[in-house]
Amino acid sequence: MRTPRSAGAFRSARLSRAARCRPAPGTRPPHRACLVVVAALALLAGCAHTPEAEKAPEASAEARGLRVPLDDFVLSRLDIHTIEYAEDLLTRACMRASGFDWELLPPRERTDTDPVHRRRYGVIEPEVARRYGYHLPPLSPDQQAREQVWRRREALRPAVRRAAYGPDGQGGCRRTARSRLARGLPEADRQRLNGFIGETFEASQRVPAVVTVFGAWSGCMQAKGYAYRTPLDAAGDPAWGRSGQASPREIAVADADVGCKRTTGLVAAWSAADRAVQLDAIAAHRGDFDRFRQARDVELRAAQQVIGSGIAPRG
């Protein structure tokens, strides 16, 4: 069970890295749930993070530079944080009117410390591979701060929870806030957008140049003693999910994986195919994508107006 989000039409399908597997009922909207999304398929060994006391390596320039055309039609992680913060301001105003307070999530960061496409093509950073294999690095300090707020919300007193989420977890001040942000949001089909995201990612893997580079990568891995057909097969090996931390073998495979990606030019070839497939989809469905962009912009603008006001507006 998760709180539905009427205003959340165009959250990026690449989910928040701070997502955890089993959110409590009535706490997090769907885009933070640990769902399997095609754009991230098999790139995570479950949802296990390395202990947070350890500092994660900063994202590489290569990881920060990865973009795809569909990014122009979905909310980025920082956009999502903007909307969440606006939603929190509205929720707090509603809660205070009922005699309760509401702890706000931190405002959005200036830069995304964990770029959304960092693992789109599997692990691509040597230091990450050597330290964590295919497991997720620890959360950054800003992500940890957000998680702490969510955890405290899971322990709200019953009266506060009812005011925030309603008796069934589907209403209360959160629903009021979401409905306020949803006013004037253009009609558009979120599932259709998610379909484009998943279908184009799958189609990119069938592009001849990508099939060829997958073969070269597989040969490179075979020479190092590891039999995997594609990078997704390596990242999604069920063995990695059996432990909360990377085993020596997992680290060895991940390190070989990154090396073979670099030797074969896999990320450049795959990302080029990814871009081409997505551009073709956008050109073929221009009307749909115009609506997706409009819906994203309207929702983000509404959130920015709430934040700019400093208080929750009336009406």
Domain boundaries, given as residue ranges, for the chain: 30-309
* Residue where the block lists tokens 């609506």: 291
pTM of the model: 0.81
**What pLDDT does 39 receive?**
37
Query: What is d(CA 35, CA 33) in angstroms, rounded to the nearest whole number?
Result: 6
pLDDT in tens, 225-243: 999 999 999 999 999 999 9
CA separation for the pair 270, 119 (Å, rounded): 13
Q: CA angle, 60 as apex, 55 and 61 as ends, to 5°?
A: 145
Q: Determine the Cα–Cα distance for residues 256 and 252; give it in Å rounded to an integer.
A: 6
Cβ(39)–Cβ(120) under 8 Å?
Answer: yes
Q: What is the pLDDT of residue 28?
A: 54
Of 35, 19, 40, give the one whose Cα is nearest residue 236. 40
**How far from 100 is each of 92, 152, 269, 270, CA to CA, in Å?**
8, 15, 54, 51
> What pLDDT sits at residue 239?
96
Q: For residue range 189-220, what is the model confidence (pLDDT) as tens digits?
A: 889 999 999 999 999 999 999 999 999 999 99
Low-confidence stretches of the chain (pLDDT beneath 50): 1-27, 29-47, 312-315
pLDDT score, position 49: 55
Supply the pLDDT for residue 142. 86
